[in-house]
Structure 1
Amino acid sequence: MSRSQTLRHNTINQFIDCINNHIIAFPLPSISILADMFNVSRTTIRAILNYLLEIGVLANQDNQYQLIRKPTEKDKINVIFEKRVVQDEKFEQYFYSLINSHKLLPGDQFSEIELAKKANVSPIVVREFLLRFLHYGLINNYQKGKWQLIVFDQDYAEKLYEFRSILEIFALRSFMAQPDHHINWTKAKELLQSHKSLQQNINNDYTLFSSLDREFHQLILSSRDNPFFVQSFDLISVIFHFHYQWDNSDLKERNSVAVSEHIAVLAAILQKNETKAIAALCKHLNTAKTSMHESISRALMIKNR
Structure 2
Amino acid sequence: MSRTQNLRQNVVNQMIDSIINGHLHSPLPSQATLAEMYNISRTTVRHTLAHLHQRGVLEKVNGDYVILRRPLAEDGFDCITHSLDEQTQRFEQAFYQMINQRQLRAGDSFTELQLARQINVSPVVVREFLLRFSRYDLIDNVRRGQWRMKKLDQHYAEQLFELRQMLETHALSRFINLPVEDPRWLQAKELLIQHRQLRDTIATDYRQFSQLDRNFHSLLLSAANNRFFNQAMEVISVIFHFHYQWDETDLKQQNIVSMEEHMAILSALLCRNDQVAARELLRHLETAKQAMIRSLKLDLA
> 1: distance between equivalents of 2:60 and 2:154?
49
Instruction: State the Cα distance separating 1:127 from its structure 2 match.
Output: 3.2
Amino acid across the alignment from 1:50 = A
- Please show how residues 62-141 of structure 1 align to structure 2 within 5 Å: 77-79=76-78, 80-141=80-141
Which stretch of structure 1 is more off in the superposition, 208-217 or 263-272? 208-217
> SS of 2:33's equivalent?
coil
Query: In the alignment, is the contact (CA less than 8 A) between 2:172 and 2:220 conserved in 1?
Result: yes
Distance 2:47 2:277 in 1: 61
Which one-letter code corresponds to 2:247 in the other structure?
Answer: N
Rounded Cα–Cα distance in structure 2 between residues aligned with 1:86 and 1:156: 32
| Distance verdict in 2 for CA 1:126–1:196, change over 3 Å | farther
Q: Which residue of 1 aligns with 2:222?
A: 222
Coordinate RMSD, CA, aligned? 3.4
Once the 2 structures are TM-superposed, how far is the Cα of residue 232 of structure 1 from its aligned partner?
A: 0.8
Distance 2:131 2:262 in 1: 31
Contact residue 245 and residue 299 of structure 2 kept, 8 A:
no
Equivalent residue, structure 1, for 2:234: 234
State the secondary structure of the residue aligned to 1:245: coil
Task: State whether structure 2 residue 58 is matched by structure 1 residue 56.
Answer: yes
Unaligned runs of 5+ in 2: none
**Cα distance in 2, alignment partners of residues 210 and 247 from structure 1:** 15
Query: Identity of counterpart residues, as a percentage?
Result: 41
Residue 287 of structure 2 aligns with which residue?
287
Equivalenced residue count is: 283
Query: 1:85 Cα deviation (Å)?
Result: 4.8
List aligned pairs for 1:253-264, cutoff 5 A: 253-264=253-264
CA distance in 2, matches of 1:210, 1:73: 47
Q: Is contact 1:100–1:245 with CA below 8 Å preserved after alignment? A: no
The answer to whether the 8 Å contact 2:154/2:293 transfers is: yes
Between the aligned partners of 2:139 and 2:296, the Cα distance in structure 1 is: 16
Question: Is 2:28 aligned against 1:26?
Answer: no
Q: Which amino acid aligns with 2:171?
A: A
Q: TM-score, normalised on structure 1?
A: 0.79
Partner of 1:166: 166
TM normalised by structure 2 equals: 0.80
What residue number does 1:39 align with? none
**2:140 touches 2:147 (CA, 8 Å); kept in 1?**
yes
| Greater CA drift, 71-80 or 120-129 | 71-80
Question: Once the 2 structures are TM-superposed, how far is the Cα of residue 3 of structure 1 from its aligned partner?
Answer: 7.5
Matched, 1:245 2:244: yes
1:135 partner SS: helix
CA contact (8 A) 2:94 2:119 kept: yes
- Shift of the alpha carbon at 1:52? 4.8
